[in-house]
Amino acid sequence: MSKRYTKDHEWVELNGDVAIIGISAYATEQLGDVVYVELPAKDKEFAAHADMAVVESAKAASDVYAPISGKVVEVNDTLSGQPDLVNGSPEGDGWFVKIKVVNKAEVDALMDEAAYADYVKGL
Amino acid sequence: MADAEPQKLPLDAVWRARTSKFADFAGYDMPIQFEGLIAEHNWTREHAGLFDVSHMGPCFFALPKGHGLEGDVAHKKVASLIERLVPADIQGLKPGQVRYTMLLNADGGILDDLMIARPAEPAAAGDLYIVVNAGCKIEDWKLIEATTKGEANLVRADDRCLLALQGPTAAQAASAVIAPELNDMNFMTVRRIETQRFGRLTITRSGYTGEDGYEILVRAEHAKDLAEALLAHAEVKPVGLGARDSLRLEAGLCLYGHDLDPSTSPIEADLAWTIQKRRREAGDFPGAKRILREYELGVSRKRVGIRPNDRAPAREGVEIQKDGKNIGVVTSGGFSPILNGPISMGYVDAAHSEPGHVVELMVRGQARSATIVPLPFVPHRYVRPKKAN
């Protein structure tokens, strides 16, 4: 299925009731070289918009918010040794977490790819 | 300063043609990043990076015209005036020598850090070339003028451009593009040269990256030609303020307003080496009482290098603890491309300042183990060419 995006540049890809979450190519372009990613623990629960992760670029630290509510079922451990995967493959292998979705309507409410592309153009 | 519209650099168009990533720094709209912070950082360590540092405060400080003094006498006179504000031995500078020092307040706190050069040319006896920080320049110049009123004149040169060329091949590029004689300069020396293409240049072999290199003062009308000529050299790429910060941090060098401030003394900042023996013995600089006491008896807090023991950067403001008790604060922190890991600088209680001490850094409320280490993180590679005689 295709991705949905938030105004804060997180992306969500829903597969059944599990969503993969990461940050967009636009976000990584703005951040520059990612040198550290602080991910939540497995089983941690988040409400939409809560602080979920921190991404540190060579420049600065930035918060990553939970785009939707849910419980973490898997984190991308590869990022601890290879944080630059976020730059190399932001919307693929550089994903952050997988969460079990509580309310699929939260996903539908996010921007689709075309809407996000328009949004980014306006920034 | 943040409210006003930032000032454009004279070379704004040169940088805009190469990047769109700009930010306000000390009231100037500065290029922050070109190819990428880490790529620019590594390029500077391996080749030569060109930095626009025209926001800084170069100036000439000189005895009034017709002072009638010559050589060492003229120099000692002008040097004694600036020594009212700085603890370095400026009178003792040889012709063409540059020294790093700081402006001090009456309590021995640091108002700014700066470079002071004695020109090599006999005709310039009685002049000093001084470069202060961007964020402090107006206040610094006011202070210098107020302290030496009627005895010397300060001429601002911040309408010119100041370009820093830094890296192991800086000498190769600078001597090819500007003049072969640049290769013969020693580190921490100054030379004024006349060139056909770029007019008169005031060049110091110095920098703030830990690498060999030059800082070149050029008149604005020639600056574009000079920058483009340097950038056309295969060893030279433009580097932004982002990498300038990570380079100076790896080199263990202080950033004013972060690692140094008016409450901090040169001894706390581990800059005792900048106060030469003649000045220590005379004790004739602002705050000498405190500074000499600290020099003799030690300090309660000290600037140190810190290596986090995991990969999380600990940036400015992070609290440093030992066994749950506050012992200090991080004043600069980030990522070292050369060490491929986080590095920080900060101040800790002297009892915990020895290299090897393990401390905790409170990053986002979580204690993370770190080790006190010697500075610099990456060895300096200042070039002192052999005399060709």
The fold adopted by the segment(s) B300-373 is Elongation Factor Tu (Ef-tu); domain 3 (2.40.30)
Inter-CA distances, B130 with A117, B120, B143, Å: 50, 14, 14
Residues of chain B with C-beta less than 8 angstroms from the C-beta of A83: 311
The fold adopted by the segment(s) B58-156 is Alpha-Beta Plaits (3.30.70)
The whole-number average pLDDT for the span B21-47 is: 97
The domain ranges of chain B are: 7-54+160-250, 58-156, 300-373
Whether residue A110 lies inside any domain: the answer is no
The whole-number average pLDDT for the span A70-82 is: 97
Answer yes or no: is pLDDT of B107 > 50: yes
Residue B387: band (very low, low, confident or very high) from pLDDT cuts 50, 70, 90: low
d(CA B206, CA B63): 25
Per residue in B212-239, pLDDT (tens digit) is: 999 999 999 999 999 999 999 999 999 9
Q: What's residue B197's pLDDT?
A: 97
The whole-number average pLDDT for the span A69-88 is: 97
Cross-strand partners of B256:
B260
Contact B46, B236 (CB under 8 A): no
**Inter-chain residue contact A36 with B312, CB threshold 8 Å:** yes
Residue where the block lists tokens 């500077």: B44
Burial B307-330 (b: 16+ CB within 10 A, else e): bbeebbbbbbebbbbbeeeebbbb
Q: B33 CB contacts (<8 Å, ≥6 apart)?
A: A32, A59, B19, B21, B40, B240, B242, B243
**Inter-chain residue contact B246 with A83, CB threshold 8 Å:** no
The whole-number average pLDDT for the span B86-94 is: 98
User: Residue B339: in which H helix or E strand, if any?
Assistant: none
From the CA of A75, how many Å to the nearest CA of chain B? 17
Mean residue pLDDT across chain A:
96
Q: A77 CB contacts (<8 Å, ≥6 apart)?
A: none
Q: What's residue B11's pLDDT?
A: 98
Closest partner residue to B315 among A61, A80, A83, by Cβ? A61
d(CA B331, CA B157): 30
CATH number of the domain that residue A36 is part of? 2.40.50.100
Residues of chain B with C-beta less than 8 angstroms from the C-beta of A32: 33, 36-37, 242
Q: What's residue B389's pLDDT?
A: 37
Whether residue A111 lies inside any domain: the answer is no
Closest partner residue to A58 among B38, B311, B312, by Cβ? B38
Q: What's residue A1's pLDDT?
A: 61
The whole-number average pLDDT for the span B57-85 is: 96
Lowest mean pLDDT among B65-69, B205-209, B222-226, B320-324: B65-69
Burial B81-120 (b: 16+ CB within 10 A, else e): bbbebbbbbbbbbebbbbbbbbbbeeebbbbbbbbbbbbe
Interface test with A, best of B37, B241, B249, B309 (most A CBs within 10 A): B37
Answer yes or no: is pLDDT of B135 > 70: yes
Q: What's residue B1's pLDDT?
A: 47
Interface test with A, best of B33, B38, B344, B366 (most A CBs within 10 A): B38
Residues of chain B with C-beta less than 8 angstroms from the C-beta of A56: 312-313, 335
Answer yes or no: is pLDDT of B65 > 50: yes
| Three-state DSSP class for residue A72 | strand
Q: B325 CB contacts (<8 Å, ≥6 apart)?
A: none
Q: What's residue B384's pLDDT?
A: 73
**Count of other CB atoms within 10 angstroms of residue B71:** 11
The fold adopted by the segment(s) B7-54+160-250 is Gyrase A; domain 2 (3.30.1360)
**Inter-chain residue contact B364 with A36, CB threshold 8 Å:** no
Domain that holds residue A56: 4-103
Residues of chain A with C-beta less than 8 angstroms from the C-beta of B312: 36, 38, 56
Residue B293: band (very low, low, confident or very high) from pLDDT cuts 50, 70, 90: very high
- Range 42-101 of A in CB contact (< 8 A) with B: 54, 56-61, 80, 83
Residue B388: band (very low, low, confident or very high) from pLDDT cuts 50, 70, 90: very low
Residues of chain A with C-beta less than 8 angstroms from the C-beta of B342: 35-36
Residues of chain B with C-beta less than 8 angstroms from the C-beta of A57: 37
In this prediction, does ipTM exceed 0.85? yes
Phi, psi (deg, nearest 5) at residue B63: -60, 150
Answer yes or no: is pLDDT of B2 > 70: no
The whole-number average pLDDT for the span A66-95 is: 97
| Rounded to 5°, angle at Cα B156 from B150 and B161 | 165
Closest partner residue to A54 among B37, B242, B364, by Cβ? B364
Per residue in B167-187, pLDDT (tens digit) is: 999 999 999 999 999 999 999
> How many domains are contained in chain A?
1
Answer yes or no: is pLDDT of B120 > 60: yes
From the CA of A16, how many Å to the nearest CA of chain B? 34
Quote the pTM value. Answer: 0.95
Q: What's residue B4's pLDDT?
A: 75
Residues of chain B with C-beta less than 8 angstroms from the C-beta of A55: none
Mean residue pLDDT across chain B:
96
**Half-sphere exposure in the Cβ direction for B194 (13 Å, CA):** 1
